[in-house]
Copies of this chain bind each other. A is one copy, B any other.
Amino acid sequence: MHKTVTLDMATSVLDENRRLARANREHLKAHGVRAFDFLGAVGSGKTMLIERLAELMRARNIRAGAIAGDVAGDDDYRRFRKAGLPAANVNTGKECHLDAHLVEHALDELDLDLLDVLFIENVGNLVCPADFPLGAEKRVVVISTTEGDDMVRKHPAIFRDADICVLNKADLARAVDVDVRVLERDFRAVNAHAPFLLTNARHGDGVESLLDALME
């Protein structure tokens, strides 16, 4: 959001987004689809977590699909397709976050009647997406130990609104000299109730617990 945009304009953009997010939510609900928004910096491991969750869901007969949000390219989209997920690719171009309008169009590309769950992977960014709900039931914020132990303090807004916080690449904490307890303490300071889960997506550690937290 740029400085010189007047407050009224900014507010109307956010209001309109909220209205569209509610419409997406109703649309998903009408088709019996539970949607989960995945937020996190680029490289935090969002795509790989979704790949692992999709494997576990398949074993539980849960039919999952995905929307891949990126500034450019279709790397994540192709990964989802390779993992057997019906998927839609959304390139935001100059925008640094998905909005409810982009998601509305992506929903049109998917046959929602064939899905039980929809993953919405946002652009890798921990600032702007905070203001743009998309219509998902839960918002999962993913951080990686390799990002340093000041991650939560630097982005309080996004952690305050998280329904689940995932600390991924937990196995690398020692290699990058990061104290997991600092991150958990900072998270608890802004969010008293949401689960704080450790995962290592590459090896699948902790993904079962994440699935349980999502489906609860």
Contact = CB atoms under 8 A, between A and B. Distances in A.
Interface of A: 1-5, 9-10, 12-13, 16, 41-43, 70-73, 75-76, 94-96, 99, 101, 123-128, 131, 144, 146-148, 150-151, 153-157, 169, 172, 175-177, 202
Contact of A43 (B72, B123, B148): B148
Contact of A155 (B3, B72, B146): B72
A43 B95 contact: no
A216 to B, nearest CB: 29
A73 B150 contact: yes
Q: Top 4 A-B pairs ranked by shortest CB distance?
A: A43-B147, A96-B127, A146-B146, A75-B150
Contacts of A177: 202
Given A43-B146, A73-B153, A146-B169, A1 B95 contact: yes
A42 B154 contact: yes
A101 B208 CA distance: 47
Q: Which of A13, A94, A154 has the most CB of B within 10 A?
A: A154
